[in-house]
Chains A and B, each alone.
Chain A
Amino acid sequence: MIPVALSVKDLRKTFGALEVLKGISLDARQGDVISILGASGSGKSTFLRCINLLETPDSGEVRLGDEVIRMRKGRDGRSGAADRRQVDRLRARLGMVFQNFNLWSHMTILQNVIEAPVHVLGRPKAECVAEAEALLAKVGIADKRHQYPAHLSGGQQQRAAIARALAMRPDVMLFDEPTSALDPELVGEVLRVMRTLASEGRTMLVVTHEIGFARDVSDRVVFLQNGLVDCDGPPADVFGTGGSDRFKTFIARHATA
C-alpha cells in the first residue's frame, strides 16, 4: 500500500455570495501525478490555493503526510490557520508553480533558487548553490543563472520557477496552469520538464488546460465542475467510457478550440 502524501477532505470556500468550492475531497498517494481539469471559473486555482492556505478555506481538512493543518474559527466567525508557524512549515513542503512564474524580480535566477532553502530552511549556502546549479542544469537554463528574470523568456522563467520549487525538496508539487501564460512555441519545453518530474515519481497536482499532458502523463484526472468533483479516475477510464457527459463536452470544446 503506497502511503498518502496529501489528503483533502470536503474542502469548501465561498467568496462573498459565490460558493466556489462546494466540498472537494482528493487523496494523492506518493508518486501520483494528478491532473485537474475544469472550465474557467470552476475553482481550480482556488482549490490549489486552499491547499497551501494562500486562500483560507471555510471548512474542510488538508493533511500533508500525517500532519493536519490546524484551523480555528476567529472571533468574527471566519476560519483561519490556528498556528502560522505550522502553516509556514507545511508550505515549505508544498512546492508551488504559478501561471505567471512570480520569480523575485530583484534576484538573479540562482538567487531565486537558493533563497528559500537558505532563508526559510536555514541550510548552508554553499550546499544550496551547488544543488541549485544542478537543478538549473536539469531544467536546461544553467547558462542563465546569473541573469535576472526580466531577461529570460517565459518558458525559461517557468523552468526557473520549477527549479525554485524543487530546491525546497517538496513532498508534493502544486502547478497552477504552468503553461497558460506562455507563447505556444514555449509550452513544449516546460511540459518536457514536467514529464521528467512525473517520471521520477514526484507527487504532483497539476491544474492544466493541456489535455495531452493530462491524458498521457498523469495517473489520474480530476474534472471539476461547479465547485464539485465531477469525475475522477485514471485517464484511460475518464477519457474512455468512464467520463461524464459534461467531461466529454468539455474535452470536445477543448479539442476544437
Chain B
Amino acid sequence: MDFGFMAQTTVALLSGLPLTLELFVTSVLAGGVLAALLAWMRAGRVPGLSALAAAYVFVFRGTPLLVQLFLIYYGLSQFPEVRHSVAWPVLRDPFWCAVLALALNTGAYTSEIFRGALAAVPTGQVEAARACGMPRLTLLRRVVLPIALRQALPSYATEIILMTKATALASIVTLKETMFVAAKLNSETYRAIEVFLCAGAIYLVLNIAIARAVALLEWRLSPHLRRAPDALPGLDTPLELGTA
C-alpha cells in the first residue's frame, strides 16, 4: 500500500468534509424539529392527527431513503406547479433536496425514539408535579423532557450515526461531499482500495467523535443512575442547583 498516496487522498477527501457536516447538521436539526412535532401529534388525543403521524412514520420508515431522495430531486421538478411555486429556488437546489430527504427520513425514525422516551416517563413523577400545581409547560420543561431526554439518548446516538452515513447518498445528486470526492478520485486513479479505505476512515472517525460526545452527555445527565456519591469518594460534587 502506498501511504504517500493515501495521505494525499485523505487531504483531498477532507475537502468534502465541510459539506458532509453541513448536510448532517442541517438535516439532523430539521429532522429533530419534525420528530418533536410528530411525537407531539402522536401523543395528543386528536385522533386524526395521531393517525396522520403514524401513517407518515410508516411510509418513511418503510421505503428506501434513496427512493425518497430521487422522488424529491428528480420527481418534483416534473410538476409545473412545483416549478412555478415559491419553493422552487429551494427544491431545484440539490443541497436542499438532500437535506429535505434526510430530514423527512430521520424525522420519522427519531419521532419513534421520542415517543418511546415520552411513554417511559413514570406517571407517578408527572402526577407529583401536577399535584403541586405545576402548569403544563413548566411540567414539560422541568420534569417530562429532562427524563425523556436521558431515556432517548442511546437510541438517538444510533440514529444520528446512521445519518452521517446516509449523507453519502447526497453524492448521487451531484453534491461534492466526502463520498462524491472519493468517487471522483477513484475514477481518476482506479485505486479503489486506498480511496475508499480513506473515505471509510473519515466517516469512522466522525462517528467515533459523535458517539463519544453523546456518551459524555449521557454521563453528565445521569448522575442519578450511577452509584451514590458515598460509594465514590472524591466525586461528591453536587450538580449545580436548578440548572434552568
Contacts and interface: CB of A to CB of B under 8 A. Distances in A.
Contact of A120 (B122, B133, B239): B133
A28 interface: no
B6 interface: no
Contacts of A129: 241
Contacts of B227: 151
B122 A54 contact: no
A89 B125 contact: no
Contacts of B238: 108, 110, 146
A146 B236 CA distance: 8
Contacts of A91: 130-133
A102 B125 CA distance: 5
B244 to A, nearest CB: 8
Nearest to A151: B228
Given A110-B241, A114-B242, A115-B142, A148 B130 contact: no
A102 B124 contact: yes
B243 to A, nearest CB: 9
A118 to B, nearest CB: 6
Contacts of B128: 96, 98, 102-104, 161
A204 interface: no
A52 interface: yes
Interface string A77-105: 00000001101111111111010111111
A96 B143 CA distance: 17
Contacts of A119: 134, 138, 142, 242, 244
B44 interface: no
B86 interface: no
B220 to A, nearest CB: 12
Contacts, number: 104
B139 to A, nearest CB: 9
B134 A116 contact: yes
A242 B221 CA distance: 56
Nearest to B149: A106
A141 to B, nearest CB: 13
B127 A98 contact: yes
Contacts of A96: 128, 131-132
A54 B150 contact: no
Contacts of A104: 125, 128-129, 143, 147
A125 interface: yes
B235 to A, nearest CB: 11
Contacts of B147: 104-106
A31 B228 CA distance: 39
B217 to A, nearest CB: 14
A54 to B, nearest CB: 6
A150 interface: yes
Contacts of A125: 241-242
A168 interface: yes
A42 B230 CA distance: 43
Interface in B102-144: 122, 124-125, 127-136, 138, 142-143
A98 B129 CA distance: 12
B126 to A, nearest CB: 9
A87 B188 CA distance: 72
Nearest to A147: B228
A59 interface: no
Nearest to A91: B133
A148 B235 CA distance: 14
15 contacts: A85-B135, A89-B133, A91-B130, A92-B132, A102-B127, A103-B125, A103-B128, A104-B128, A106-B147, A106-B224, A125-B241, A146-B236, A146-B238, A150-B225, A168-B132
